[in-house]
Structure 1
Amino acid sequence: MNTDPRSASDLAAIYESHIKGKIVLTTGVSPGGLGAAFVLGIARAQPELLILAGRDLSKVQQTADAVSAVGAKVRTLELELVSLAAVRAAAEKLNSWDDVPRIDVLVNNAGVMAIDWALSPDGFDSQLAINHLGPFLFTNLLMGKITKSPAPRVINVTSEGHRLGPFRFDDYNFRDGEYYHKWLSYGQTKSANMLMAISLAEKLGSKHNLAAFSVHPGLIVSNLSRHLKLFGDDDSDMIAMRDIDRLMGNSIGWGGWEKILPCTPEVGANTYVYAAFDPEVTAHNGGYLLSCRLADPWKDLVKPWATSPVEAERLWKLSERLVGQEFSY
């Protein structure tokens, strides 16, 4: 859960001087979601430009209109993360915008949660493609513009759900779906989000002053989770998460959510603002953040498989192979 009750707008007011003049790219900005809450939260703080990217341009435009209504300059970009070809096309288009000389902050917010098995156009578990491989390729293809910023930041949206499983290096595709489990798949992608942030910080922190973080927004009721069965008479998804969590070493397992009030997207996005603009958080480059603070490995049950530099480098190499391109920094 997110124990910090402040909204994204509350944090943006605190960090207004750090937001002013920034070019911020956010993926996954459909109305009612965390990405939309983030961009609307910072829109009044005078960013130079907000770039909104998403699969459904009509929904992206709805959020863009809301951003424009409060006086912020905005551009939209079609981005379909499940397809590597589509990711390359989106990155090529953005890189061609000569009037966007740099990207100060990239928030990799778009993703899916515990979806049924489907192959991506490139032959991968679609959840893996959307949550990790697409953002990995997109981020690296934009690195020329990102490193033009004097102090760029990359924010990967992860989850407490990383506890549900490490990255499955020897069977990331679940034998092409034969042994697919939607929660194990989700867990490996959320672990991947954390490992990618570690690698970016390691590879680009010193040379390009880049800071990268993974962020858990808390328990949010939003478009991402509305298809799941978590509460009420049918809580089968909650039971599945609890059982897997126990198998992964947490004796109590997921539970007690019936006593936790889910927070709104506006509150959930507060850690996005913290990660993107807090001047002191860069001391924890590569870190996993929640509730506007660095996670505590013990109290927050952070799994070592998602914080290991060795695992991060291993995943980086595999990801390069899977997307068919090396990125040497």
Structure 2
Amino acid sequence: MPAPVYDTNTTASELVNDYKSIIQDKTILITGASPGSLGGYYAQNIAKANPACIILAGRNTTKLEQCTKEIQAASPKVKIRTLKLDLSSLQSTREAAAEVVDNWDDIPAIDVLVNNAGIMAPEYRVSVDGFESQFATNHLGPFLFTNLIMKKILKSTSPRIVTVASDGHRLSPLRFDDYNFDGGNTYDKWVAYGQSKTANMLMALSLANKLGIKHGLLAFSLHPGVILTNLGSHLDWDDVDVKGLWSTDRRLGNAEGWKTSFDFKTPERGVATHVYASFDPLLKANNGAYLIDSHIADPLQDTLKPWTTSEFEAERLWRLSEKLVGEEFPY
């Protein structure tokens, strides 16, 4: 029987139904899970397949509890844990990781980590540690958290790490010598967003290369599509901000700069690729891949810039990230 073909219209519910036997009994940790977020929608969908435990991680404990109630209203039997995690702070990230590794004896392994949390195109600011906010929250925090809980991920018989990137990676490669945008003097909110999403893709590639053969770890990055969630609620999608995005695209020569509208997805379609990346068994042959519309991105048809597929760039970012977080992870 041929494998099913998924596309941009595939929904999370369809995939959860197809992967039900795989999701069952898995422990899944999701960062950035809150009501109205992609993390929240993803958790609601996979809860229907009776996983062993869903761990919701986020910086706002009130929103975590609200998200928990919404999930359990539809799936009352599912076990849910919450974890306070502020990825913009290296200290908070270390504290959350220590909680998972040192104190959660009842959860011996994490089968799937979904690095879903992120921010998009805010005005210039730096994190408490002095890093441009998008680079800090979207990359350095997830990089540190992922590696600090790696021992529990590798205790899984089928460990998998999914990182939510974006086709916004087209807006910038890694600015290795100016990731902080000269203290804001050269800041472009969309270029900074692109840099952080490129970092997401390179981290997935590094994880696959470093831990795939030796430990059987699968790692993927993905573009969920354009979905109206709380991620972009601060942006003006009708005028100023979208014009800034398209202007940046035109300056870079990207085809997206000449679009006049977005192909918005519903949340059900938007988190389908989350589910696909987390559980599809056939992806094993393409470890480290970037996914879009529930398939492996095709560089001839999908937006996929070469700086996101470079193993040299991936290793360079890994070493820079180790330096910035102050800890080495020599797998």
Under a length normalisation based on structure 2, what TM-score does the superposition of the two structures give? 0.95
- Whether 2:210 is the aligned partner of 1:226: answer no
Within 5 Å, which residues of 2 pair with 1:1-329?
A: 4-69=8-73, 70=75, 71-95=77-101, 96-231=103-238, 235-251=239-255, 253=257, 255-257=259-261, 260=263, 262-329=264-331
Per-residue CA distance 1:119-163 (angstroms, 9 max, x = gap): 111111111110000000000000000000111110000001001
Q: Please give the secondary structure, in 1, of the residue aligned with 2:152.
A: helix
Per-residue CA distance 1:144-189 (angstroms, 9 max, x = gap): 0000011111000000100111110010001121221111110000
Q: Could you tell me whether the CA contact under 8 Å between 2:113 and 2:160 is conserved in 1?
A: yes
| Corresponding letter in the other structure for 1:149 | S
Runs of 4+ with >3 A deviation: none
Q: How far did 1:301 drift? A: 2.3
In the aligned structure 2, how far is the partner of 1:311 from the partner of 1:171?
Answer: 15
Please, which runs of 5 or more residues in structure 2 have no aligned partner? 1-5
Q: Please give the secondary structure, in 2, of the residue aligned with 1:253.
A: helix
Q: How far did 1:245 drift? A: 1.6
Please, which runs of 5 or more residues in structure 1 have no aligned partner? none
Q: Please give the secondary structure, in 2, of the residue aligned with 1:240.
A: helix
Per-residue CA distance 1:98-133 (angstroms, 9 max, x = gap): 001000000000000001111111111111110000
- Return closer, same or farther for 1:252/1:210 CA change in 2, 3 Å cut-off: closer
Q: Could you tell me whether the CA contact under 8 Å between 2:94 and 2:145 is conserved in 1?
A: yes
Under a length normalisation based on structure 1, what TM-score does the superposition of the two structures give? 0.95
Q: Could you tell me whether the CA contact under 8 Å between 1:151 and 1:208 is conserved in 2?
A: no
| Corresponding letter in the other structure for 1:154 | I
- Return closer, same or farther for 1:175/1:250 CA change in 2, 3 Å cut-off: same
Q: How far did 1:5 drift? A: 2.0
- Return closer, same or farther for 1:251/1:18 CA change in 2, 3 Å cut-off: closer
Per-residue CA distance 1:214-257 (angstroms, 9 max, x = gap): 010001000001111222xxx22222222222222325625132
Q: Please give the secondary structure, in 1, of the residue aligned with 2:56.
A: strand
For these two proteins, the number of residue pairs brought into alignment is 323
In the aligned structure 2, how far is the partner of 1:290 from the partner of 1:143?
Answer: 26
What is the root-mean-square deviation in Å for CA atoms of aligned residues? 1.3
Q: How far did 1:307 drift? A: 1.3
Q: Could you tell me whether the CA contact under 8 Å between 2:127 and 2:136 is conserved in 1?
A: yes
| Corresponding letter in the other structure for 1:174 | F
Q: Could you tell me whether the CA contact under 8 Å between 1:34 and 1:266 is conserved in 2?
A: no
In the aligned structure 1, how far is the partner of 2:7 from the partner of 2:172?
Answer: 24
| Corresponding letter in the other structure for 1:301 | T
Q: Could you tell me whether the CA contact under 8 Å between 2:27 and 2:55 is conserved in 1?
A: yes
Q: How far did 1:272 drift? A: 0.5
